[in-house]
Structures are given as C-alpha cells and as structure tokens.
Structure 1
C-alpha cells in the first residue's frame, strides 16, 4: 500500500492542505488515515484524489518500483566496482522526483556517502554520515548496519584503521547480508599488519565474491591474500611471482588498468625485498606509467621507486632529489601522509643524518604510532635504535628497547 505515501507526497508538493485536497471527496480525517496507511479505502477515492493532483497512480507505482530497483543497482555498482555505471545511475536517480520520498531517503543517503567515498571526497561523505547518525535510532537493522559499514569505509579512507576495525566488527551479521564488509576488514587488518586475521577475512570474502561472480573483487581479495603470505617471512618467490603474473594477465583480459598498476607495484616491492633492485625498478616505472599522479597509489609506487633506485644505486643523487621533491609536492597538494616518506628521502639524499633521525623521532614515529602502523613503527624504531647505539646515546637506545625487540625482521628491508 503505497498510494497514501504518493498522495501525501504530491499533495505537499502542490502546496495543498488535506482539507483543500479532499474537499467534496472525503473527510480530512479519512485522508489523513489514507496517507498514513492505517485505514481501508476505495479505489474510487484514490482515483478522485489523484485526478485532483493531476497524477496517474498506476504510472507513479511504476516509477516508485523502478526507482527502488535503480537504488539496488546503484548499490551493486559499488560492490562490483563499476564506476561508469555508478555515474549513470546517480544522474538518473537524482532526476527522479520520488527520491524525496521518506521511503528512499536513508538508503539514498547511505549510497550517496559511498559514492563520495569511492571518489575520495571524504569531507562530503562525512557530512552525510553525520546527518544520518542524528536519526540512527529510527533506522531499520539493515540500514543501521549499513551505516556502520559506510562509517567503517570512511575511517579506512581516512587512515583510521583501528577505528575502521572497531566499527566493522560491531556489525550484526544476522541482520546485514552485505558480506563485502569482510573485504574492508581484511584490508584494515592488513594495513595494521595483523596478517593472520587479514587472511581469515580475505578467505571469507573470497568465497562470497566467487559465488557472486565478482571478478574484480576476486582479484582484489587474492591480492590481499598474497600480501599476507609474504608479510612476516618471504614466501616462495616463484610461486609469489607466478600468482602475481596470473592476476596481472586477468587484469589485461578485463582491461583493469588500475588494478594492474597496483599488482605491478606489489610485485616490484617483493623484488625489492629480495634485493632484485633492477627488476623492481622496471616494474615500479611500469606501474607509475599506468597511474594518474593524483591517485594515492602513485605516491606509494614513487616512494618504492626512489627506495629501490637509491638502494640499487641505479640513478644519480640529483635525479633522486628531483623525484623526492616531486613526491613531496604531490603529497602536500593531495593532503597525503606520504609526505613523511618524501621528507625522509630528502634528508637522506642531502646527507643530513641528524635531521633525518630527528624527523623520525619527532614526526614520523609519533604519527605511525597514532595511526597504528605496526610494521612502520618496527622498521623506523630499528633504524633509530641502531643510530642511538652508533652515536653513544645509550639512554635513548634503552628507552627505545622498551617498545622494540632486537632482532625483529623489518618488513620493508627484510634484514
């Protein structure tokens, strides 16, 4: 029974009171009950009311159900990572007057927040989320859990990985059937280097994506699983390389350039960790050629390329300085925390050792600790520990030893 909702919607749109609309047709009390869908009514009454509103209820039913379907399809474009289709549906939905109906508003706003998150417009997404939170208590269980999912995604995009995990693990699985959130949990756990838990969630969501034939997300999930296999220890390289190359070929088949660039970056990193600097540098270059400089992953690849060329002595110091300045400029313009890495490159390339370690101590490590970047903390604490020992700063070295266990492998250098 949606006739009452439609009549109320068009009555208010026309600026009519209940009394004005129902005059000569029925009482205002009866119209009020029709609009609230708490009474029986004859088709003749709704026909007369719709005539006065100059609408055809049968046509409006079709529009209502079409819009309902479009919203579901729009949601599916996010899960399937279909950005072009998402843009088309967004435009169509925005043109539909019925989107203003209360029936659609919560779901529409949740999807709008997802849209802005997918386009890295975090501030706009957060405003929508905050407005939704004001009325969260009145939401259905499905919408309440979807809000948690969207908020978790916001935290993830904002680098708040522990907040992301906290909110996503509070989702009630019995009342929310969008198991895609397992993927975001796998990613968040990966980025704080809880590798076993990350692999667990990746395995769970892989089954879901396989059942729904979501090829793109299968690639993403298998990528996460590969990263976990090589996280703490170096996995068999031939198997690692073969699996990466298989995923890259799949990307070529479905013309997924963005994912191919990320896979090339990941494989380059595995080569770097194994001190195959020349091969790694070539893959980093290939990855960067496929990326727009404004996307976050470009800075990751550029950082890796500078590291590789510095360690492998593949480029002159002058060229590396130019690349580091470029990375710093892009990072600051895009408000990316990657500016820290490029600042470190500049200190290192300019042979400013004291400034390099002072920056690690006062800026880099506090930031990594605040964000929960476990592996980065271990990596830079190890560097700082050895520096303090070398210059005879015994107390500082002892202080660091409280949070650092001598002999741990660095994820970044595998030393």
Structure 2
C-alpha cells in the first residue's frame, strides 16, 4: 500500500511539475522495493542513480546526499562494502559537518570500512573519535552508542564489544524501535554466545529477537 500511494503521489507531482516532491515519492517507492527479494537489484540501483542525477540537476544537495546514502545502504546489504563506502563518502562530502545527517553518513562510512576491512585502524579510529565528539556536541545518544560500538570493534576488544552490545546497544535500539540495528546486533550477539558456549545467554538473546 505504501508503494501504491507513493506511485500515485509521484504521478501527481510529475503532472504538477513539483520535482522535489516527485523525488521524495520515488524514494519511498524504492525503499519499499528494497524489502522485496524478488526485485531486480540492477533496476533498483539504476533508479537510485537516476534520482541522484536528477537531484544534482535541480541543485537539491540535501536530496542528493540522501539518495547517495540510500544507494550505499543497498550495496552494504549485499556485502559490497567497497561500493557502499564510495557512496557513503560522496554523501558525507555534501553535508554540513555540524548536522545529524553528517553523523549518519560518517557512521555509515566507518561501518562499511570496518565490515569490508577497507581502511587502516588508525584512520578509522580518528574518524570514530570525530564522530563521537560531534555526537556529544549534538547530544545524540543514538550516534554516541553507534560510534562507541565501532570504536570497540576497531580496537579488537571482543569481550568489551559484546558486553556493550548486550548492556547498552540492544536496550537502546529496542527503546527507539530501531528494528534493523536490533536484529543485526542481536544476531551478532547470539552467534558470539553460541561460539563461546554461553547457551543460556544465547537463548535469551534469541527470545528477544522473536
């Protein structure tokens, strides 16, 4: 239904030459498409590329940054961390460093680098320290949690990393109803407990994910 109404809105905005809102409507459609496993990934990325081009043509820098980030997210989900890093970085360059959108794109950029092992430890820790500092200035608990998670991972401190996921990150993601992060880090914690023979804790985490 979200796709259906977004498509109707898209046609209306196109007919009335409201290009900015037409871009918004199509982005909603693409977000719905990305949740459908039967959707052609090449079609999805091509449509995002068109949105990025159209945003650039119209001089809508904030929308261009958003679509670059969303395209990076699609590549991240397929395990193509190199392209995810590329698009996250391009989004980052368009942002005001004092904005929450900058924090989002910086966080995603560092995440892709960590998952794909695409940058040296020292460089990543410098970016993470920048992110933490900016998150604290903006009083953004969400990004403070995320950058603290990435700091522990970059340092290779597994015990502290999984302890932080259990005690801080998962309760935070649950409290703000962030389903994607809650599932992602819950799954990581579950596998860690299974691998370390902590089966009771693994069962508790599994139950929390259901």
TM-score, with length taken from structure 1? 0.47
Selected match of 2:23 from 219, 229, 234: 219
Corresponding residue of 2:152? 347
Measured in 2, the distance between the counterparts of 1:284 and 1:317 equals 19
| Structure 1 segment 163-178 matched on structure 2, within 5 A | none
| 2:55 pairs with 1:260 | no
Structure 2 segments unaligned to the other structure (5+ residues):
none
CA drift of 1:272 comes to: 2.1
| Structure 1 segment 95-174 matched on structure 2, within 5 A | none
More helix by share: 2
| 2:162 pairs with 1:380 | no
Measured in 2, the distance between the counterparts of 1:353 and 1:252 equals 42
Corresponding residue of 2:73? 269
Measured in 2, the distance between the counterparts of 1:205 and 1:372 equals 28
> Which structure is larger by alpha-carbon Rg, 1 or 2?
1
Corresponding residue of 1:239? 43
Q: Give the direction of change, closer, same or farther, for the CA distance of 1:330–1:267 in structure 2 (3 Å limit).
A: same
Structure 1 segments unaligned to the other structure (5+ residues):
1-196, 406-415
Q: Write the deviation string for residues 45-80 of structure 1: whole angstroms up to 9, x where unpaired.
A: xxxxxxxxxxxxxxxxxxxxxxxxxxxxxxxxxxxx
Measured in 2, the distance between the counterparts of 1:363 and 1:209 equals 43
Selected match of 2:119 from 301, 312, 315: 315
Q: Give the direction of change, closer, same or farther, for the CA distance of 1:280–1:400 in structure 2 (3 Å limit).
A: closer
Looking at both structures, which has the greater relative contact order when contacts are Cα pairs under 8 Å and sequence separation is at least 6? 2
Selected match of 2:101 from 250, 272, 297: 297
Measured in 2, the distance between the counterparts of 1:352 and 1:203 equals 47
Measured in 2, the distance between the counterparts of 1:234 and 1:370 equals 32
Instruction: Identify which range, 267-276 or 388-397, moves more after superposition.
Output: 267-276
Selected match of 2:170 from 351, 354, 365: 365
Measured in 1, the distance between the counterparts of 2:139 and 2:6 equals 29
Q: Write the deviation string for residues 248-299 of structure 1: whole angstroms up to 9, x where unpaired.
A: 1211221111111111111122122222222222222211111111222211
Measured in 1, the distance between the counterparts of 2:143 and 2:32 equals 22
